[in-house]
């Protein structure tokens, strides 16, 4: 018996020593581009600080680099290019599961700089036209935020001036309603990308329909945002989808109490560097039913998101992306009146929701200082609610019936041009064709019939245009100025919204900024019809 025990123990120790002795490595890939013009920068050098001997690479003609056999861990990575401000990207996590892809956007220097290095804080926004009240949302943060359920909306609640509650993922910015937030994906306004959105609170949902497997680093604004953003009062969540690995296939499968999560990415054509990325999630909450409140009923949800990237040699880059979500919540009434403990026990309801956004984007670089980006996107949201309840005569009667379907077609296009190292401008248009089919009914006080509050269908347009410039007086002093305008053709309401901001780096790692913005937002359509087509306004002055 002792021999039988000793032999497995020896084998285990040998296997442990073999595994622990292995140096697990991973590959770091990336691209170095001009922050303003987005053109690739060939010949830039990339080095992993603290490695001995020094590990690094240089970018090829497409501005791309590859560093192989990097041990797992956290690293600071330095990027250098002649005539540009050196950059250090802090705390890059290299894990064993997937290759790391970095996009280093570096700024052209106004003067010759020798040892001045720009350290990239993970909180610094990606948008170069930002002055204050903006923060970058890092995907890694979202996945490890305690109690965040892998939900970027819940992570945002930890930012200054932002709050939420445990009941939903609504984002409250400086006391404003969650519906005052603009959700934007790949440059297009979308419906709230949450499951069971707008049920308990307008602008809020239960859990995100966005998987961290799909997200790239994104920007979150809490006021006085750049003029490219309109139709928002409190803030902007500018979501970016990452591009799939164009050289290696990687698959992920996860299963837990709330359901399954499946994702895959890889090359479509290695020679053309095209790639795909998709994620699918399905949940029934069946295993959690014993601990959930009975009034929640049956819950089901599923979502699908994807991105296909198709670069060309001369015609720019095309990308096809999308997100969709389906939700169901239902509950049967308790038939035995002696078992009723509250009015909820009398109610029977069935709720179905969906949201979707699909887009095709084209981006082309013209010359060395200009690029144009255009997107066409259909988006939509739907809610169908049927609710019944037992009345005083113990008869089940309808109490609420809602069928709201809102969809739109959006075309956006902008041109970004750098006049010189000091001055750059971004000018664009946003054309939205809004369509709606709304029916809202509620029982009268006697619960004998349903009264119609809204019964309308039709279409209208929300037209927007903007222009914004950034002027760098020095490397430490910059001015952002622009204007956004929009008109809602249903009532011909027109708004002009100026934006201005000034930032000054007066000490290393110390910035003083002031900005002002006038903002307006179109009310949700079903509320708009009740409120006689109102547009709500807000002024932001931030320090």
CATH architecture of the domain with residue range 154-542 = Beta Barrel (2.40)
pLDDT tens per residue across span 261-288: 899 999 999 999 999 999 999 987 655 6
Check pLDDT > 70 for residue 331.
yes
Residue 465 confidence class, pLDDT cut points 50, 70, 90: very high
Task: Output DSSP code: residue 217.
Answer: P
77, 78, 74, 89: which is closest to 115 by C-alpha? 78
Contact 434, 522 (CB under 8 A): no
Tokens representing 272? 């053309």
Residue 151 pLDDT: 74
The span from the CA of 153 to the CA of 147, in Å, is 12
Percent over 90 (pLDDT), the chain: 45
Tokens representing 419? 């006049």
Residue 208 pLDDT: 86
Instruction: State the residue for tokens 């690995």.
Output: 245
195 or 147, which is more confident:
195
Residue 362 confidence class, pLDDT cut points 50, 70, 90: very high
73, 104, 62, 110: which is closest to 420 by C-alpha? 110
Average pLDDT of 369-377?
A: 97
245, 215, 42: which is closest to 126 by C-alpha? 215
117 or 356, which is more confident:
356
163 or 36, which is more confident:
36
184, 188, 192, 191: which is closest to 236 by C-alpha? 184
pTM of the complete model beyond 0.75: yes
Question: In whole numbers, what is the pLDDT of the chain averaged over residues?
Answer: 85
138 CB-side CA count, 13 A: 17
Q: Where are the domains of the chain?
A: 154-542
Residue 308 pLDDT: 97
Check pLDDT > 60 for residue 529.
no
pLDDT tens per residue across span 491-506: 888 999 999 999 998 8
Long-range contacts of 172-179 (CB under 8 A, 24+ apart): 172/234, 173/222, 173/223, 173/234, 173/235, 174/222, 174/223, 174/234, 176/233, 176/234, 176/235, 176/538, 177/202, 177/203, 177/234, 178/202, 178/203, 178/204, 179/203, 179/524
Most confident region among 121-125, 423-427, 516-520 by mean pLDDT: 423-427
Residue 534 pLDDT: 47
Residue 337 pLDDT: 76
Q: Which residue blocks in 22-58 are alpha helix, DSSP H? A: none
pLDDT tens per residue across span 295-330: 667 888 999 999 999 999 989 999 999 999 999 988
The span from the CA of 525 to the CA of 198, in Å, is 13
Average pLDDT of 399-425?
A: 94
Percent over 70 (pLDDT), the chain: 84
């Amino acid at each position: 018996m002792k021999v039988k025990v000793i032999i497995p123990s020896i084998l285990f120790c040998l296997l442990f020593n073999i595994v622990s002795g292995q140096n697990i490595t991973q590959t770091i890939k990336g691209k170095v581009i001009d922050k303003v013009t987005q053109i690739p920068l060939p010949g830039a050098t990339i080095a992993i600080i603290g490695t001995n001997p020094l590990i690094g690479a240089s970018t090829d003609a497409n501005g791309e680099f590859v560093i192989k056999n990097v041990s797992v861990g956290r690293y600071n990575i330095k990027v250098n290019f002649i005539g540009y401000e050196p950059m250090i990207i802090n705390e890059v996590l290299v894990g064993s599961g997937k290759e790391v892809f970095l996009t280093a956007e570096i700024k052209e220097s106004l003067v010759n700089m020798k040892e001045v290095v720009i350290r990239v804080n993970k909180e610094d926004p990606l948008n170069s036209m930002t002055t204050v009240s903006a923060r970058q949302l890092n995907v890694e943060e979202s996945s490890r935020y305690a109690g965040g359920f892998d939900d970027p909306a819940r992570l945002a609640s930890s930012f200054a001036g932002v709050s939420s509650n445990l009941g939903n993922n609504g984002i409250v910015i400086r006391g404003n309603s969650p519906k005052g937030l603009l959700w934007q994906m790949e440059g297009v306004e979308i419906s709230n990308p949450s499951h069971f959105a707008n049920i308990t609170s307008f602008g809020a949902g239960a859990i995100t329909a966005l998987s961290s497997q799909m997200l790239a680093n994104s920007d979150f604004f809490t006021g006085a945002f750049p003029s490219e953003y309109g139709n928002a009062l409190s803030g902007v969540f500018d979501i970016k989808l990452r591009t799939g690995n164009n050289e290696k296939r990687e698959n992920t499968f996860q299963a837990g109490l709330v359901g399954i999560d499946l994702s895959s990415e890889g090359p479509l054509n290695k020679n053309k560097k095209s790639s795909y990325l998709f994620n699918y999630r399905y949940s029934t909450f069946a295993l959690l039913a014993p601990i959930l409140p009975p009034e929640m009923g049956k819950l089901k949800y599923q979502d699908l998101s994807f991105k296909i990237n198709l670069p060309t040699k001369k015609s720019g880059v095309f990308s096809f992306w999308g997100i969709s979500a389906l939700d169901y919540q239902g509950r049967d009434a308790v038939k035995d009146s002696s078992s009723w403990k509250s009015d909820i026990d009398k109610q029977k309801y069935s709720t179905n929701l969906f949201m979707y956004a699909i887009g095709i984007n084209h981006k082309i670089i013209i010359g060395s200082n200009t690029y144009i980006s255009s997107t066409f996107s259909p988006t939509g949201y739907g809610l169908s609610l049927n609710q019944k309840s037992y009345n005083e005569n113990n008869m089940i009667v309808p109490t609420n019936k809602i069928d709201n379907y809102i969809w739109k077609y959006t075309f956006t296009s902008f041109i970004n041009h750098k006049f010189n190292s000091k001055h750059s401008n971004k000018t664009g248009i946003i054309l939205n064709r809004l369509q709606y089919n709304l029916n809202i009914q509620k029982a009268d006080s006697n619960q004998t019939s349903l009264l119609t509050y809204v019964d309308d269908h039709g279409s209208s347009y929300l037209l927007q245009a903007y222009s914004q410039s950034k002027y760098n007086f020095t490397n430490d002093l910059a001015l952002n100025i622009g204007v956004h305008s929009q008109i809602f053709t249903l009532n011909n309401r027109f708004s002009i919204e100026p934006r201005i901001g000034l930032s000054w780096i007066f000490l290393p790692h110390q910035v003083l900024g002031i900005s002002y913005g006038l903002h307006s937002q179109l009310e949700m359509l079903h509320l708009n019809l009740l409120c006689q087509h109102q547009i709500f306004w807000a002024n932001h002055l931030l320090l």
